[in-house]
Structure 1
Amino acid sequence: MRKHIIAAIQSHAAAEYPKECCGLVLAVGLAQKYFPCRNIATEPNEEFRLDPEDYAAAEDQGQVIGIVHSHPDATSRPSSRDLAMCEATALPWHILSWPEGDLRTITPTGSTPLLKRPFVHGVQDCFAVVRDFYMRAMGIELPNYQRTDGWWESAENASLYEQHYKAAGFEQVDSPQRGDMIVMEVGRTAHPNHAGIYLGTDPALPGEESGVFGPGPFVLHHLYGRPSELIVYGGPWLQRTRLILRHKEAR
């Protein structure tokens, strides 16, 4: 990274300390510049949320080629959320520890494993692992519906699965086959709020080893606060099932 950009990031981090600063690296013609943004997170000392209006203003000036934020009183080591968001944005992320001053860059790999991915709500969660499976196994791109914290506990926000599945190309079936989406109720709720992929007796996943053997049947899912995993589909999971959905293009 160019020296004048590093200096601008350091200046921004110092001005915002002890809050996390955030900003964008822009390509403006042949030049590059740092565009500082506002951190509108509820707890800016612990995380950052880049102001969408600032992002739009930056795009009016040039091409966004990197995302920047600081780690106040911490190392530049990326968090699980940093790694997940780097993949989601498909852009390099530059992390500055402050006041230490260490700058680290992480780059997207282009493919997050389906198994053992850390949980980051809205980025790597139960719906994300479903979307990624359909794209990798079937070439089907599902809409990426916005998920706000706590939607799974509110009847008003239960539309992610119950109200959107038809528009996303799914239809309800009586018994599952490999590749179907299993929609369940977990926790203290009165509506479906969790989903996984039914794999039948074959735990194989596109492009990776599952390391799981046995009679099955298996379901791939990503439960809140846990890494994504394979489970045997039976017992309480079967009892929690409320919808079995099959995509029309998967027939």
Structure 2
Amino acid sequence: MHPILLHAFKQHTISCYPNEACGLIINIGNKAHYMPCNNVAVNKVDQFEISAQEYAAAEDRGDIIGICHSHPNATSKPSQRDIAMCEASFLPWHILSWPEGDLRSIVPTGEVPPLIGRPFVHGVWDCYSCVRDWYKETKHITLPNFERKDGWWEGEEELYLDNFTKAGFIQVHDQLKIGDGILMQIQSKRVNHAAVYVGDGKVLHHLYGRLSRNDVYGGYWQRNTRMIVRHVGNKNCDISTKNLCQD
């Protein structure tokens, strides 16, 4: 990072300490500028979030070429979520530890983690991402990537029930077929978990806080199932969000 950009980033980090600072590097007229952003995360000490509105305003000013945030009272080592969000953003990420003052940069590799054994990072590698990636890898179908904030199921939102038809699914009541989506209600008032039936009596899913895996579809999973849905057409649409949220 250029010393002028690093200085601006560092001054912003100091002003936000002990909360996380966040900002963007924007290319305006072939010159890079650091743009400090407001951290709108609920827990600013351990997380940052740049609103979609502020991100869009930055895009209006120039080309976004990097995302910056600080790690208060921690090293600059990227967390698993940092790595996942870097991949999702398709941009370099710059992490500044404070007060240590060490800067570390990471870049997206373009690699998609395997369907089984991936760590849970909500909004990037979660139960819906697992279903999406299975469809893309197995069926060559791109499902929409709906915005979903961590803890949405604690409010009034019905992410799955309100959106499964928009993703090209219909509710079915017959025997399970490979590729059917299984919508579950896990310790919540909302339908908050999705799995995909992969055959041989098994589902692929990614439970909150655990590694993705195959499980036999029965018992607990079957008791908590609220709906079976089946994809009936490839819309090939990709609805994404500009909001960035990070631990």
Contact 1:182 / 1:198 at 8 angstroms: preserved in 2?
yes
Runs of 4+ in 1 over 6 A off after TM superposition: none
Larger Rg: 1
Match of 2:92 in 1: 92
Give the deviation of 1:164 after TM superposition.
2.1
Q: Counterparts of 1:17 and 1:152 in 2: how far apart (Å)?
A: 31
Give the deviation of 1:153 after TM superposition.
4.4
Match of 2:229 in 1: 245
2:192 is the counterpart of 1:193? yes
Match of 2:213 in 1: 229
Match of 1:206 in 2: none
Match of 2:64 in 1: 64
Contact 1:28 / 1:63 at 8 angstroms: preserved in 2?
yes
Unaligned runs of 5+ in 2: 235-247
Counterpart of 2:162, as a letter, is: Q
For the aligned residues, what is the CA RMSD?
Answer: 1.9
Q: Counterparts of 1:60 and 1:167 in 2: how far apart (Å)?
A: 29
Q: Counterparts of 1:188 and 1:249 in 2: how far apart (Å)?
A: 30
Contact 1:175 / 1:244 at 8 angstroms: preserved in 2?
no
Contact 1:172 / 1:245 at 8 angstroms: preserved in 2?
yes
Deviations 1:198-246 (CA, angstroms, capped at 9, x unpaired): 1113xxxxxxxxxxxxxxx221101112121111222222222222211
Deviations 1:73-102 (CA, angstroms, capped at 9, x unpaired): 100011222122112211111101112111
Normalising by structure 2, report the TM-score.
0.86
2:129 is the counterpart of 1:128? yes
SS at match of 1:76: coil
Counterpart of 2:199, as a letter, is: G
Q: Counterparts of 1:16 and 1:192 in 2: how far apart (Å)?
A: 37
Counterpart of 1:143, as a letter, is: P
2:163 is the counterpart of 1:164? yes
Normalising by structure 1, report the TM-score.
0.84
Contact 2:72 / 2:98 at 8 angstroms: preserved in 1?
yes
Contact 2:135 / 2:141 at 8 angstroms: preserved in 1?
yes
Counterpart of 2:136, as a letter, is: M
Unaligned runs of 5+ in 1: 202-216
Give the deviation of 1:125 after TM superposition.
1.6
Say which structure, 1 or 2, has more relative contact order (CA 8 Å, 6+ apart): 2
Q: Counterparts of 2:105 and 2:204 in 1: how far apart (Å)?
A: 32
Q: What pairs up with 1:134-149 in 2 under 5 angstroms?
A: 134-149=135-150
